[in-house]
């Protein structure tokens, strides 16, 4: 097992193991370049390195649960729901934690005010010793941004919003599609890694979700279609816009199951990677 922090691990600046199994550079648009023949074992090992472990994900979820308990103690009328990479299975070690602040219906018009109250409550806690907190109210999706004060130690960072309920829905759907097959998860992860490596994921450029959608499009429109059109989920997305969050297992998951097709024809991860980049670059 290759451990984070070892000589074999170098995030985003280029990753090479001692046998030159993986070489990632900015000069090559191809994801894979090697002096050794690759197989799916190497891909699995690589994804194990770059993706959050089960323990990492568990720790992140515990943090959001702690925040929820803290808000309850402060009599703050909200429910925190995590979304993004914490949910969809595509989190990297430097991924922040995205949280949606679900508020009672009679509080909807006061969402920005609730964000300022959220910042005030967090500032009263020990978090203020480790983090800077600011409300970005003019953004398309207003958030409380909780960023690390220290430049020497990397701590988990948070974005908390009260308007982007559809993000919870998108993360749940993507989570099922990503985890339906290990080869699909590896494809999503390596495309995201490639995009970060080439500085394509940043504020004002693209979000990581953009590249997840690009992979879904490829899986729908490639030589073989593995995912059906997503229009059957429209009614559920509208419910999320109205802050009516359906139960995933009982309502949304069966709909996602129906989206999968030709799963018995999925090739190896390496084949999928080459097909994806050939498809995108020739589109």
Mean pLDDT value of segment 52-59: 87
Residues 145 and 3: their CA atoms lie apart, in Å, by: 30
Rounded to two decimals, the pTM is: 0.81
Predicted confidence at residue 239, as pLDDT, reads: 64
Predicted confidence at residue 182, as pLDDT, reads: 93
Check whether 17 has a pLDDT greater than 60. no
Predicted confidence at residue 24, as pLDDT, reads: 38
Residues 283 and 279: their CA atoms lie apart, in Å, by: 6
- Going from the C-alpha of 126 to that of each of 119, 123, 130, 196, the distances in angstroms are 13, 8, 7, 32
- Assign a CATH topology to domain 54-164: Beta Polymerase; domain 2 (3.30.460)
Domain boundaries, the chain: 54-164, 168-281
Reported as a single tens digit per residue, the pLDDT across 120-168 is 888 877 677 778 888 888 777 888 988 887 666 667 888 998 888 888 8
Check whether 107 has a pLDDT greater than 90. no
Mean pLDDT value of segment 77-106: 86
Check whether 106 has a pLDDT greater than 90. no
Predicted confidence at residue 114, as pLDDT, reads: 82
Mean pLDDT value of segment 256-280: 90
């Amino acid at each position: 097992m290759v451990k984070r922090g070892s000589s074999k691990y170098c995030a985003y600046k280029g990753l090479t193991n001692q046998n030159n199994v993986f070489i990632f550079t900015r000069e090559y648009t191809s994801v894979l370049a090697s002096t050794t023949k690759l197989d799916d074992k190497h891909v699995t090992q690589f994804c194990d390195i770059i993706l959050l472990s089960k323990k990492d994900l568990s720790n992140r979820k515990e943090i959001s649960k702690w925040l929820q308990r803290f808000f309850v103690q402060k009599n703050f009328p909200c429910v925190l729901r995590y979304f993004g990479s914490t949910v969809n299975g595509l989190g990297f070690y430097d991924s922040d934690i995205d949280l949606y602040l679900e508020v009672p219906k009679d509080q909807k018009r006061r969402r920005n005010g609730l964000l300022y109250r959220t910042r005030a409550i967090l500032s009263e806690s020990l978090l203020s010793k480790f983090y800077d907190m600011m409300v970005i109210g003019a953004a398309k999706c207003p958030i409380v941004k909780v960023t690390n004060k220290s430049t020497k130690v990397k701590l988990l960072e948070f974005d908390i919003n009260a308007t982007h309920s559809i993000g919870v829905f998108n993360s749940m759907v993507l989570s099922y599609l990503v985890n339906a097959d290990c080869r699909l998860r590896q494809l999503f992860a390596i495309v995201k890694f490639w995009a970060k490596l080439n500085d394509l994921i940043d504020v004002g450029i693209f979000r990581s979700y953009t590249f997840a959608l690009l992979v879904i499009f490829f899986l729908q429109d490639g030589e073989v279609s593995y995912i059906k059109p997503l229009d059957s989920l429209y009614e559920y997305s509208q419910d999320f816009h109205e802050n009516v969050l359906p139960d995933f297992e009982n309502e949304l998951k069966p709909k996602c199951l129906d989206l999968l097709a030709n799963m018995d024809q999925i090739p190896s991860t390496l084949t999928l990677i080459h097909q994806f980049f050939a498809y995108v670059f020739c589109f």
